[in-house]
Amino acid sequence: MSGVAEPARLLVDGTEVARYVIDPKLDARHGPRPYLHPVRTLGGTVVTDALPADHVWHLGASLAVQDVNGSNLWGGRTYVRDVGYTWRADHGVMAHTGWSERSTQRLAHRLEWRDARGSVLLTECRRLTAAPLAGQGPAGGLPAWWLAVDYTLTAPAGQDVRLGSPATNGRPGGAGYGGFFWRAVSTGPASVFSASATGEETVNGSAEPWVALTGTGPDGGAYTLVFGGLGDGDRWFTRTAMYPGVGVAFAFERPVTIAAGTERRGRHTVIVADGSLDPAAIAAMSAIVSRNPQVG
């Protein structure tokens, strides 16, 4: 498509594991923003979905927040207290404004979070890093790799910025989504679990050190995703019944404010592995990741 920038690529040991779409030309109602898709295991299984029919505004792996000072930077309908989901002309955009680094192992760039009028709500510095994970996968299979997502959100000097969610705007049922979100793909039933809980209802809203999602890719290959890196006050947002997805929710129960002129920093990690890993293997892999803070 004319005018669309070529996606950046992330490689691990010479294998392409992800493409980063910088400037998607999408309907404003889909919450245009940079996103990772397709993301693959080292064995080639695709583990992200983008523009799915059930939620067209789900874009692979991305940062997305439904309520940023009243602007929808998630996409889709906005949840309005005492009304419910409503189509509104409140959709903003997360716009790429310049590269800081671009290589096949690390992507770093600057963004502006803008409202529907183009006014800047937040500025962001984001860094994505792909690295191999030492050790073998299940049954001596392919090594896994891991992704580090680092970002700094800065509020304008003269304005506080409030981050909210459908839950903070009155929706019941643990719909506190908005933050770093990974829309997975699975041709069979997906499952989500942590070290101490299993299933969407028990994992959703928790603050476990890690959360894992297992599924089956379009090629029939089994995969496991292991998420880590909750910030202070963050909670896990998980879905498997309606669709497979895991997110770091910034405002799961109550709004979060970035005070004028201050920063909010985050660092989230995702292990991408072939096969269905058990909790013991996941704990070992997570320990390796936690010992490598310099990656990224």
**Given a cut of 70, is residue 56 above it in pLDDT?**
yes
Token pair, residue 159, equals 């304005």
**Beta carbons within 10 angstroms of residue 170's beta carbon:** 13
Assign 82 a pLDDT band (cuts: 50, 70, 90): very high
pLDDT tens digits for range 186-228: 999 999 999 999 999 999 999 999 999 999 999 999 999 999 9
pTM over 0.85: yes
Q: Measured between alpha carbons, how far is 121 from 239 in angstroms, rounded to an integer?
A: 29
Contact 204, 236 (CB under 8 A): yes
pLDDT for 135 equals 57
Domain ranges of the chain: 8-290
pLDDT tens digits for range 121-132: 999 999 999 999
Q: Measured between alpha carbons, how far is 246 from 212 in angstroms, rounded to an integer?
A: 9
pLDDT for 290 equals 85
Question: No. of H helices and E strands in the chain?
Answer: 2, 20
**Given a cut of 60, is residue 83 above it in pLDDT?**
yes
DSSP letter (8 states) at residue 293 = T
Q: 294: which residues sit within 8 A by CB, 6+ positions away?
A: none
